[in-house]
């Protein structure tokens, strides 16, 4: 299985060739609380690194989602329209948000699991 990489803004990616699956981390969903709505990007949309591509709304707050990679959206998780709570119950599985076809290299500032854990712990305190 491909290694999961993370952003400092709490998104995760798994790379499979030129296709990247994107979601939000378990830490992010726990900070948000119960997710009630997601604004998803349209397939075909081109994204730059760190560009806002949607919004996740919870009972506590609304937060922008930022693309960890540059590329073209090839798919969105339509299950989230009817069941946004999948973000809470399975953020690394059925709660994935979008798939992106890379148009460049993977950004060098993506974090490994140990590095991201330190970011999340600092954010929790």
pLDDT band at 82; cut points 50, 70, 90: very high
Conformational region of residue 44, where left means phi above 0, alpha means psi within -120 to 50, and beta covers everything else: left
What pLDDT does 104 receive? 85
Report residue 114 CA to chain centroid gap.
Answer: 18
10: nearest Cα among 56, 45, 48: 56
pLDDT band at 123; cut points 50, 70, 90: confident
What pLDDT does 124 receive? 67
**Beta-carbon-side half-sphere exposure of residue 124 (alpha carbons within 13 Å):** 11
What pLDDT does 1 receive? 54
Which domains occur in the chain, in start order? 4-105 (2.40.50.100)
What pLDDT does 125 receive? 55
**pTM of the prediction?**
0.94
Give how far Cα 77 sits from Cα of 35, 61, 65, 122, Å. 15, 21, 14, 30
**Whether residue 58 has pLDDT greater than 90:** yes
The rounded mean pLDDT for the chain is 94
Burial class (CB in 10 A: 0-12, 13-18, 19+), 114: exposed
């Amino acid at each position: 299985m491909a290694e999961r990489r993370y952003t400092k803004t709490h998104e995760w990616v798994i790379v499979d060739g030129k296709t990247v699956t994107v979601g939000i981390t378990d830490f992010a969903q726990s900070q948000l609380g119960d997710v009630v709505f997601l604004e998803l990007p349209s397939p075909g949309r081109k994204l730059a690194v760190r560009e806002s591509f949607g919004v996740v709304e919870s009972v506590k707050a609304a937060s922008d989602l930022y693309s960890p990679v540059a590329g073209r959206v090839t798919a969105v998780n339509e299950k989230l329209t009817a069941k946004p709570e999948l973000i809470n119950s399975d953020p690394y599985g059925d709660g994935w948000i979008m798939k992106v076809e890379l148009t460049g290299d993977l950004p060098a500032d993506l974090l490994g699991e140990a590095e991201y854990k330190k970011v999340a712990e600092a954010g929790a305190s």
